[in-house]
Structure 1
Amino acid sequence: MTEPVDSNDVPTQVRERHATLSQEIEDHRQRYYFATPTVSDAEFDQLMHELEGIEEQYTELRTPDSPTQKVGAPVAEPGAGVEASWPPVEHLERMLSLDNAFSSDDIAEWAARVEREVGTGARYLCEPKVDGLAVDIVYRDGRLATLATRGDGRTGEDITYNAQFVDAIPNELTGTDEFPVPSVVEIRGEAVFPTAEFEAVNAERADLGLPLFANARNSGAGVLRQRMDRRREKLDAAKAKADAAGNEGRSQLAYERVLEEYERARRNLNRMILVCHGIGRRDGFDIRFQSEAYEALRAWGLPASDRPQVVPDLDAVQGFIDHYGQHRHDIEFEIDGVVVKVDQVDLQRQLGSTSRAPRWAIAFKYPPEEVTTKLIDIRVNVGRTGRVTPYGVMEPVKVAGSTVENATLHNASEVKRKGVLIGDTVVLRKAGDVIPEILGPVAELRDGSEREFVMPSECPACGTPLAPAKEGDVDIRCPNSRSCPSQLRERLFYLAGRSGFDIEAMGWEAGIALIDAGVVADEGDVFGLDADQLKQVPLFTNTDGELTVNGRRLLDNLRKAKEQPLWRVLVSLSIRHVGPTAARALAGALGSMEAIREASEEELAGTDGVGPTIAASVKEWFAVDWHQAIVDKWAAAGVRMVDERDESTPRTLEGLTVVVTGSLQGFSRDDAKEAILARGGKASGSVSKKTSFVVAGENAGSKHDKAVELKVPVLDEDGFRVLLESGPEEATKLARVGEGGSEEPADDAAEAAGDAAE
């Protein structure tokens, strides 16, 4: 820890930086509060962290007016120019913020402070941190009295009027013998759009030509705080005017437009959910544990999460953090971390609070998945099927643990729909392993120097004029499929990928090198490569002109790849719409490349999992001479073109659908899928009532929970092996069905599996 410096020794530049940071943070808080932020949460956290570091060293600067000592933003006074502001309302008890932790060391330091204050008896309550709008709800004698935003922690906005439109907020509390309804109780929670509802809202806005919301939290804040009372007044006035005009003409049209806007606003409010996580003021009721509060909230009919867990030590806390770090997108709403609390209320009181945050709780924040950065340029990439895709070139920025410089923009229509200009500050998102995506611009930061993107009319790689493949297509393509260097490079990279031949030594750099050296004119030449040809490629030769280790490894990988099953060969041909699922279906039904090539469009479409679009694409692909030449070259080089059915593998899963979730010790995800398909089953990625079995490995997530909810039989890894070897009847005896994985009679599980198979 940095030693504090005497107040007389604060350098001028430090004072100036402190003042600049303070003002910047206050400005961002105001924008955040009114749902118009210009920086991401992560960037705001960095500013606050810098300010806290300055004040830790120069303690004189830590005054009550500092942003580090405040919660949220003050409510705008009437006439302050904020049209959407509501009247202020004081909270019964102060609403605090939370201090943040960004590493396991930060959590350990916090826990050590707790132990110094209260000893070793503390246990911890962990829960996902909802990325929503903090609200305060007061019930008096069981009836809703006020709904308010957090504001500055003492005073929020009174948005009670809007509560009538949010079904998630009950107007009246229920109760039980164990948890009767208190005379006064103040509920703390987060209001947020579920991810699916947020996407639906944005889809509607896109259809209407309205600007898209950047994220679920900000859009939820804007929706919940809108003045529905004024919208109602406007609607009533428009209705009266239309009635006076006899419900005809411009007045009627104006009324219908206002009604449509009102109904859309009301519908969006009802899409929001509430997640309750605490209790403030309570009269006639007390709790001993924070976890007990969740039981009370649910007993009163309030929507409290069932995900919090009480854990005994820091190892378990870290385990909880790690689990939701891997499964954060399995939850129906956005989370940005985990909140860790001391569970015992008496210890919470001992620990107390600072001016802005309780000492008995801390928020662990995951690496940001959403940041802002400068969009330097928009360029285009030509894919393996000729599709031309715009992508943004940005100032490098760290997001979701990696540095990002490029992000997809999908197509020209999407660029226009999002309203992105070259030179904009943009919101960038990278969720998990998903390709980074530009969500939209921060329009408030424009200075007039920004310019529109113009889609090129010619292929940037080969100069061929671009055009849609078919009339009405959104995408434009380069029709020079065979010779366009960009398309060939992408196809080589794709056929070497895990879904194709899985050629480890032929990555992006190797593909470019083979093309540049002229030893590969198209992908048909790949399996004809020999040592003499590779010696013409500088990447694979040493200074003596001999093959490098990677060169010899590539030849070895190519020999092994020739034995890959037929479906992988099909995938590697880059036939439009033919991915692993369709390729498996075609290979399984027809058995050979020759049979697939000769099959009619009707025969192809009749294959389960194929359909008319894929069938037409396959026939169209094989109608091209140079495409057929690729297949012929591969066949001549010894690539497998026929699948021999292994009669020794029992067809134990005919008609069954199996979902594998979590990690298995003896199977990779691909191995498990292959094992299911080889036995005649269908390997699915989602759980439904038609699912026959769910195989749940370590860290199984929402798919396991869905199986329990739908009473789909659940197997562990040993049960999966029995299913593969002996079929559903024997496996059912080992299955768990229903609530919490409790076992139901084997007959019930068998019936469930039989129903799914039918």
Structure 2
Amino acid sequence: MRTQLTEQQRIEQLRKLLEKYAIEYYDNDAPSVSDQEYDRLMQELIALEEKHPELDDPNSPSRRIIGQVMEGFEKVVHAQRMLSLGNVFNKEEIEEFVNRVAKEAKDPEFVVECKYDGLAMSLEYENGRFVRAVTRGDGVTGEDVSNNVRTIASIPMYIDTRERVEVRGEVYMPKKSFENLNTLQATLHLPLFANPRNAAAGSIRNLDSTVCLHRKLDAYWYYFQNARDFGLRTQEAALDAMKDMGFRVNPIRKVCKTADEIYDFIEEIGRQRGELPYEIDGMVIKLNDLEDQQRMGITAKAPRYATAYKFPAEEVQTRLLDIFVSVGRTGRITPNAVLEPVRVAGTLVSKATLHNEDMIKSKDLRINDIVVIRKAGEIIPEVVKSVPERRDDTQIPYQYPTDCPVCGSKLVRLEGEAEHFCINPDCPARIVESMIHFASRDAMDIDSLGDKKIEQLHEWHFLNSIEDIYRLHRRREELLEKKGYSQKGVDKLLEHIEASKKRPLANLLFGLGIRLVGKKGAAILAEHFGSMDAIRAASEDELAAVKFIGGVTAQSIRAYFSEQENVELIEFLKREGVNMTQERVEKKESVFTGKTVVLTGRLKMARNEAKKILESLGANVAGSVSKKTDYVIYGEDAGSKLAKAQALGVPQMSEEQFEQEVDNAKA
């Protein structure tokens, strides 16, 4: 005769059953009960928990379907640092890694696993119960995101062991979830997410766990942090043990003994990469023996017993549907490709810049061509080439426009230049783009005055020039009559415009859009001359003598200030109280003084902050690595720039070493 369960025992039984069924469904794709049966048991559990609030358990399967809004994330120090990995990019570098390990480990074996494009995470369990989930953060301290992680159905809340367990892995957004999310974003007229990784990270770090719940995240676990406490001796055994405990472990892996075996397996998975239901950007190679791992140890940033192979830029084919040109603030005409949407390196790509007429001709691009697309640096979509053998007589050679598509003025191609320009100063496109640039974050940083608002206010004839931005307060009452413009919103906009008057001279110079004067050049000029009047009074030779400015930029600056309308603009801004000076920052002597430095990888500090510090120490911060580079400072997931620095013999410096040099300079 079956013993009658108490309601408390039934609650515990239902929790374990539903946990088991969830793992069968989400991890093994082999459910042993129907959806209807699962739902019936869930409803029974919810009813019993409502009846017995004293038995509340945050890990209950019922809590996975209930959102919660948090005030913030608690900081947590990892028991053991969560390290990033070094990178290899080709077979030769794999061989170097294998040979290096073989010098310290006898007859080494390696486990080759997928490298996910997601968010690194640590899970902790005590007495068989989930305790918390912590992000990697800076490797030492992460954030407790347990409430959000509880919404991920494949993650067990209960495991069959009383010992403490910590596993680490990656939370990611499956491709299907990402497509569904962006479809919803488009329907709601909200910005689309760039890629699944950003979407996953944003979901996990959202204070409302309902957001995470509805975005259908998943996870794979690949590191059993305290595996040796369980008598496990290899990475392969640790992966099997995690799977037995109920953690989702990827079956795509292989134990290899040689560099050839490793490379062949990587190539095999690389060919399947596009068919996987999740994004991977490489493969991880780990020494299999855990004792040997312990003996080899770690560097300041990465384990010496493991490395990551990064896949080369993914190239895919799609159709070139059309080419259209856009007009920038300087009047430059930029041709753009309209593509049949295709996923490249985790992002759906439907447009790509074609730069200029010469590029279109050199690549022989024709409307309706099949073309090869890739992500430059895994970020910017670019058209690599056409595929002539796929032509079928429907292709149309592209005729570059002779007139501006916005104002109809004749386009001009200056001698020695690759680009065409609309030189009509009254071209509406140029006017709008110049105001957008002026108000942008790196220029006058006028919050509340974004691209769409400027376009709208221009359509209503409120903004027809940069000067009109500082006249907008005179039209406050008219603005309040417009739909969507509340008193609070209008006053906030006007406050931000007023606050922009206090920005440094460098911001104003950049905002003016002087041809060839970028953000860095504007900062150099402001620092060197100290005031707008001094820059206006400087001769071409004096401007050209400034380090990093040069003759061509000096000509452009003098040409700008020779135009009467530009002089009148600056005088107007001066009367309106816009700051025209810049305090000179005393530069400290350091190892960076007079050196060219490149930043790469994910840094713990903001990239702009690191750049400002370097410039205050006398460095020139460049965007690319060359033989003239003096230092490369790298953070997590540093890629091709670090590899190029290693190949060229350019000195490299970790972020920790950089911070130490900064401290030395301060001292």
Which range, TM-score by smaller chain? 0.5 to 0.7
Provide Cα deviations, 1:208-245, integer angstroms capped at 9, x if missing partner: xxxxxxxxxxxxxxxxxxxxxxxxxxxxxxxxxxxxxx
State the SS of the aligned residue for 1:410. Answer: coil
* Partner deviation per Cα, 1:665-689 (whole Å, 9 max, x = no partner): 3x31111211222343333345567
Which of 563, 566, 586 is matched with 2:525 structurally? Answer: 586
1:636 positional shift: 2.3
- Residue 324 of structure 2 aligns to which amino acid in structure 1? R
Give, in angstroms, the shift of residue 462 of structure 1.
0.8
> Where do residues 267-346 of structure 1 align in structure 2 (5 Å cutoff)?
275=92, 291=98, 310=110, 341-343=253-255
**Which of residues 579, 599, 621 is equivalent to 2:560?**
621
Amino acid at match of 2:431: L
Q: CA deviation at 1:449?
A: 2.5
How far, CA to CA, are the matches of 1:579 and 1:359 in structure 2? 42
Instruction: Give CA-to-partner distance per residue, 1:514-561, whole Å, 9 cap, x none.
Output: 21121222123223322x5355459x9446x63463x44433332333
Deviation string, structure 1 residues 592-627 (Cα, Å, up to 9, x no partner): 111111100000000000110000000011111111
1:554-573 equivalences under 5 Å are: 554-573=493-512
Distance 1:709 1:378 in 2: 39
2:477 maps to 1:477: no
Q: Residues 619 and 340 of structure 1: is their aligned pair in 2 closer, same or farther, counting only changes over 3 Å?
A: farther
Q: Match for residue 451 of structure 2?
A: 508
Call closer, same or farther: CA 1:709–1:454 in 2, change over 3 Å.
closer
Alignment match of 1:430 (pick from 375, 386, 394): 375
Q: Which amino acid aligns with 2:427?
A: C
Kept in 2: contact 1:127–1:340 (CA 8 A): no
Letter in 2 for 1:576: R
**Structure 1 SS opposite 2:412:** coil
Which of 546, 564, 575 aligns to 2:486? It is 546
- For residues 438 and 531 of structure 2, what CA distance do their matches in structure 1 show? 19
Contact 1:528 1:637 in 2 (8 A): no
List gaps (5 residues or longer) in structure 2: 1-84, 121-168, 173-195, 198-249, 280-312
1:593-604 → structure 2 map (5 Å cutoff): 593-604=532-543
Which residue pairs with 1:154 in the alignment? none
Mark the CA change 1:373 to 1:687 in structure 2 (over 3 Å): closer, same or farther: closer
How many angstroms does 1:382 deviate by?
1.2
Specify the SS of the correspondent of 1:343.
strand
| Residue of structure 2 equivalent to 1:674 | 612
CA gap of 1:451–1:484, structure 2 versus 1, over 3 A, is same
The aligned residue for residue 372 of structure 1 is 317
> In structure 2, what is the Cα distance between the partners aligned to 1:712 and 1:426?
36
Distance of 1:309 and 1:639 partners within structure 2: 66
- Name the CA shift for 1:374/1:690 in 2 (closer, same or farther; >3 Å): closer
Aligned residues: 413
User: 1:683, 1:317 → 2: CA distance?
Assistant: 29
Match of 1:495 in 2: 438
CA contact (8 A) 1:126 1:309 kept: no
1:389 alignment partner AA = T
- Counting only pairs closer than 5 Å after superposition, residues 30-49 of structure 1 correspond to structure 2 as none
**CA distance in 2 between partners of 1:631 and 1:542 (Å):** 33
Listed as ranges, the matches of 1:520-539 within 5 Å are 520-530=463-473, 533=475, 536=478
Contact 1:513–1:537 (8 Å) recurs in 2:
no
Give the drift of 1:718.
5.7
Once residues 341 and 114 of structure 2 are traced to their aligned partners in structure 1, the CA distance between those partners, rounded to angstroms, is: 35
- Name the counterpart of 1:404: 349
Q: Aligned pair in 2 of structure 1 residues 421, 701: CA closer, same or farther (>3 Å)?
A: closer
The answer to whether the Cα contact below 8 Å between 1:126 and 1:317 also exists between their aligned partners in 2 is no
Query: Cα deviation per residue 1:469-517 (whole Å; 9 max; x = unaligned)?
Result: x335332211112x11111222222223343223342322122112112
Distance, in Å, in 1 between the alignment partners of 2:648 and 2:520 is 25
Distance 1:449 1:604 in 2: 53
8 A contact 1:128–1:339 mirrored in 2: no
- Alpha carbons of 1:527 and 1:311: their partners in 2 closer, same or farther (altered >3 Å)? farther
- Please list, as runs of the form range in 1=range in 2, the aligned pairs for 1:126-525 lying within 5 A after superposition: 275=92, 291=98, 310=110, 341-343=253-255, 362-363=269-270, 365=273, 369-432=314-377, 434-468=379-413, 470-481=414-425, 483-525=426-468
1:417–1:510 distance in 2 versus 1, CA, 3 Å: same
Could you report, residue by residue, the CA deviation over 1:699-736 in whole angstroms, capped at 9, with x for unpaired residues? 445555666778877655565455445429x6xxxxxx
CA distance in 2, matches of 1:710, 1:373: 36
- Find 1:612's aligned residue among 551, 567, 590: 551
Give the alignment's TM-score, normalised by structure 1. Answer: 0.47
* 2:449 counterpart letter in structure 1: M
Structure 1 residue identity aligned to 2:255: D
Gaps of 5+ in 1: 1-124, 131-273, 279-289, 297-307, 327-337, 350-356, 731-758
Does the aligned pair in 2 maintain the 1:311–1:317 contact within 8 Å?
Answer: no
Say whether the 8 Å CA contact 2:113–2:252 is kept in structure 1.
Answer: no
* Residue number in structure 2 paired with 1:172: none
Distance 1:525 1:714, change over 3 A: same
Residue type at the aligned position of 2:608: D
Cα distance, 1:641–1:518 mapped onto 2, change above 3 Å:
same
| Equivalent-residue separation in structure 2 for 1:317 and 1:491 (angstroms) | 37
| Distance (whole Å) between structure 2 residues aligned to residue 359 and residue 375 of structure 1 | 31
Change in CA separation of 1:636 and 1:317 when aligned onto 2, cut-off 3 Å: closer
Mapped partners of 2:596, 2:470: distance in 1 = 36
Residues 681 and 379 (structure 1), Cα distance of their counterparts in 2 relative to 1, 3 Å cut: closer
Give, in whole Å, the separation in 2 of the partners of 1:685 and 1:552: 39
Residue number among 727, 737, 741 corresponding to 2:665 in the alignment: 727
How far, CA to CA, are the matches of 2:364 and 2:266 in structure 1? Answer: 44
1:528/1:675 CA distance change after superposition, 3 Å: farther
Distance of aligned partners of 1:679 and 1:633 in 2 relative to their CA distance in 1, 3 Å threshold: farther
Query: What's the CA shift string for 1:144-174, capped at 9, x where partnerless?
Result: xxxxxxxxxxxxxxxxxxxxxxxxxxxxxxx
Q: Match for 1:508: what amino acid?
A: D
Distance in 2 (alpha carbons) for counterparts of 1:339 and 1:614: 57
Distance 1:566 1:377, change over 3 A: same
SS at match of 2:437: helix
Q: Indicate the SS of the match to 1:524.
A: helix
Aligned to 1:155: none
Q: Deviations over 1:73-97 (max 9, x none)?
A: xxxxxxxxxxxxxxxxxxxxxxxxx
Contact 2:402/2:410 (<8 A) preserved: yes
Whole-angstrom distance in 1 between the partners of 2:101 and 2:656 = 36
Work out the CA distance in 2 between the residues paired with 1:516 and 1:488: 12
